[in-house]
Amino acid sequence: MSISRPDPSRLVACPTCDTLYRFEQPAPRQTAACTRCGTVIFAPRPGAISTVLALAIAALALMAIALDFPFLSMTANGLTAKASVIDAVKSFAVDDMAPLSLAIALLILLLPSLRLCLLIYVTLPLFFGLRPWPGARTAFRLNVDLRPWSMAEIFMVGVAVAMVKVADLATISFGPAFWAFAAVAILLAAKDAVTCERTIWHILRSA
Ligand SMILES: [Zn+2]
């Protein structure tokens, strides 16, 4: 008598309680939840790839707009100062604060943009019904791994806190880049909410 070992690539673990299941792709609009703890493991949505792709392209375009236009202008005692996102990054680029400047550029601009480019690279061929492009799995893995380091949304929270602090000292007006960056933060959150990582992994593995 021989006991067959289950194919490890066909097993999925619940991200909360590690219960193992044999993988079966749920039908569109169905979700697969862990029977032990109730965590949703798969939630494929019809048309999700096109939604993710559209959100990623829109966020990348808005990010480009946010770079080029004024972000905030402050008026106090008859003097007006305008600042762009690049100015915010450059403002620390003096003496020993330069690493901070580099970190801000990386965390709020470069990594979020890189993640969007990687996601577009992964989802564009899938949207057209083509086979994934070379390195798509590595690109998607990198996109997932970089998520904790992508802080465009946190930058907006920081800006909001700073504005409350200086509101009594100066008159603040928002430039186009502010609204573009706020829209980027919303689109990034919407993209993460729509993306079912396991479904994309399944498509990439079975292609
Ligand atoms: Zn579970």
Look at 50-54, 127-131, 132-136, 197-201 and tell me which has the smallest mean pLDDT.
197-201
Q: Does the pLDDT at position 13 exceed 80?
A: yes
Going from the Cα of 194 to the center of ligand 1, the distance in angstroms, rounded, reads: 21
Q: Does the pLDDT at position 45 exceed 80?
A: no
Going from the Cα of 121 to the center of ligand 1, the distance in angstroms, rounded, reads: 32
How much is the average pLDDT of 181-185?
92
Going from the Cα of 41 to the center of ligand 1, the distance in angstroms, rounded, reads: 8
How much is the average pLDDT of 52-67?
94
What 83-88 contacts at long range (C-beta under 8 Å, 24+ apart), as own/partner pairs, is 84/175, 84/177, 85/109, 85/177, 85/181
Q: For 93-148, how does the pLDDT look when each residue is reduced to its tens digit (9 = 90+)?
A: 887 888 888 898 899 899 999 999 999 999 999 999 899 999 999 999 999 999 99
Going from the Cα of 205 to the center of ligand 1, the distance in angstroms, rounded, reads: 23
Residue 176: the pLDDT is 92
Residue 136: the pLDDT is 95
| pLDDT band at residue 1 using 50, 70 and 90 as cut-offs | low
Q: For 68-78, how does the pLDDT look when each residue is reduced to its tens digit (9 = 90+)?
A: 899 988 888 88
- When the pLDDT of each residue in the chain is averaged and rounded to a whole number, the result is 87
Going from the Cα of 13 to the center of ligand 1, the distance in angstroms, rounded, reads: 8
Going from the Cα of 43 to the center of ligand 1, the distance in angstroms, rounded, reads: 15
C-alpha span between 149 and 193 (Å, rounded): 18
Going from the Cα of 15 to the center of ligand 1, the distance in angstroms, rounded, reads: 7
Residue 189 and residue 153 in contact, taking contact as beta carbons nearer than 8 Å: yes
Going from the Cα of 57 to the center of ligand 1, the distance in angstroms, rounded, reads: 34
Residue 3: the pLDDT is 65
How much is the average pLDDT of 159-166?
87
Going from the Cα of 11 to the center of ligand 1, the distance in angstroms, rounded, reads: 14
Torsion of CA 153, 122, 57, 149, to 10 degrees: 20
The percentage of the chain sitting over the pLDDT mark of 70, rounded to a whole number, equals 97
Domain ranges of the chain: 1-44, 47-195
Residue 184: the pLDDT is 93
